[in-house]
Amino acid sequence: MPELPEVETIRRSIALPLQGQIIKAVIVREPRLRWSVPNTLTACLLGQSIQDIQRRGKYLLFQCEQGHLLIHLGMSGNLRLLPAKTPVKKHDHLDIVFHNELCLRYHDPRRFGCVLWTSDPVSQHPLLMNLGLEPLEPDFTGDYLYRLAQQRKVPIKTYIMNSRIVVGVGNIYANESLFLASIHPTKPSGQINLERYQCLAKSIQQVLSTAIESGGTTLRDFMDSAGNPGYFKPLLQIYGRTGQPCNQCGNPIQQQQLAQRVTYYCSTCQG
């Protein structure tokens, strides 16, 4: 479900209400996520307060006094901030209850996400230590993308979805960014020149920033922690628009499978 803009939208909607809140209880109803919820989680979290909530790629990092709670939402996860007594629904796998009687409720039908704890420096965590650059940080540039792409043959779309290169770019925003940069998704990443990469880096930043400002993309069920949908869907230029006219040239949008992901493009505009 959530790519970087959706995770960032959730982060922003919980950061202020949870800052300084003390954890009163942890309720694990279903520990079988992508990785099992550690059975020590309750003991780790109890009595601690949330000092800050950061994001790294699509991971949410809850900074506590003794370490970090690490949450990934996978394909179908979401987090809601609810009164602690709100009736539980199917797939509400975990609650973190605070002293103010609010709870952060993790819901994830497909269970591709995870809820983990680490008391080590969070950047050293095995799931985080090999991640590439944050696309909205200043060190993410066309030069960087160009340099790492040399000798590579993977299609550019697969390349920008590789989290060891750059984090947070999932299927929706990879398609959108390549359309904005007028680059064909199957073009081998090692055959793109520096100038095109500079354009692509800017396109990725623009698409992600605009999506964050819009509160993310709600295709089916994305919502922020208060239950609000995102408003970026009508701004999508290419994703999910097979057969519809390209907004730039009017020719029908094409679709093909690339690395097991649906890929949309305009064969006229994305030479």
Partner DNA sequence: AAAAGGACCTGGTGGC
Partner DNA sequence: TGCCACCAGGTCCTTT
Catalytic-residue membership of 261: yes
- The answer to whether residue 157 forms part of the interface with DNA (CB under 7 A) is no
Quote the least distance from Cβ 101 to DNA, whole Å. Answer: 28
Neighbours of 75 (CB within 10 A): 13
Phi, psi of 74 (to 5 degrees): 55, -140
Q: How many Å apart are CA 12 and CA 17, to the nearest integer?
A: 10
Q: How many Å apart are CA 151 and CA 190, to the nearest integer?
A: 5
Query: Binding site annotation covers 105?
Result: no
Question: Cα–Cα distances in Å, from 97 out to 94, 101, 173?
Answer: 10, 7, 34
SS3 content of the chain, % helix, strand, coil (to 5): 25, 25, 50
> What string marks each residue from 179 to 218 as x (binds DNA by CB under 7 A) or -?
----------xx-------------------------xxx
- The answer to whether residue 40 forms part of the interface with DNA (CB under 7 A) is no
Long-range pairs for 46-51: beta carbons < 8 A, 24 or more residues apart = 47/22, 47/23, 48/22, 48/23, 49/20, 49/21, 49/22, 49/23, 50/18, 50/19, 50/20, 50/21, 50/23, 51/19, 51/20
Catalytic-residue membership of 121: no
Among 11, 55, 68, 72, binds DNA (CB under 7 A): 72
* Contact indicator for 47, 65 with CB cutoff of 8 Å: no
Quote the least distance from Cβ 27 to DNA, whole Å. Answer: 19
Quote the least distance from Cβ 271 to DNA, whole Å. Answer: 21
Among 222, 224, 236, 270, binds DNA (CB under 7 A): 222
Q: In this structure, what token pair is assigned to residue 42? A: 């309750």
- The answer to whether residue 125 forms part of the interface with DNA (CB under 7 A) is no
- The answer to whether residue 219 forms part of the interface with DNA (CB under 7 A) is yes
Q: In this structure, what token pair is assigned to residue 212? A: 């964050």
- The answer to whether residue 91 forms part of the interface with DNA (CB under 7 A) is yes
- The answer to whether residue 92 forms part of the interface with DNA (CB under 7 A) is no
- The answer to whether residue 163 forms part of the interface with DNA (CB under 7 A) is yes
Catalytic-residue membership of 58: yes
Q: Which is nearer to DNA, 171 or 206 (CB)?
A: 171
Catalytic-residue membership of 6: no
Query: Binding site annotation covers 91?
Result: yes
Q: Which is nearer to DNA, 21 or 118 (CB)?
A: 118
Q: How many Å apart are CA 44 and CA 118, to the nearest integer?
A: 9
Residue positions in the annotated binding site for DNA?
91, 110, 152
Give me the residues that bind DNA (CB under 7 A), please.
1-3, 6, 32, 34, 57-58, 72, 74-76, 90-91, 109-112, 127, 151-155, 158, 163, 170-172, 189-190, 216-222, 230, 259-262
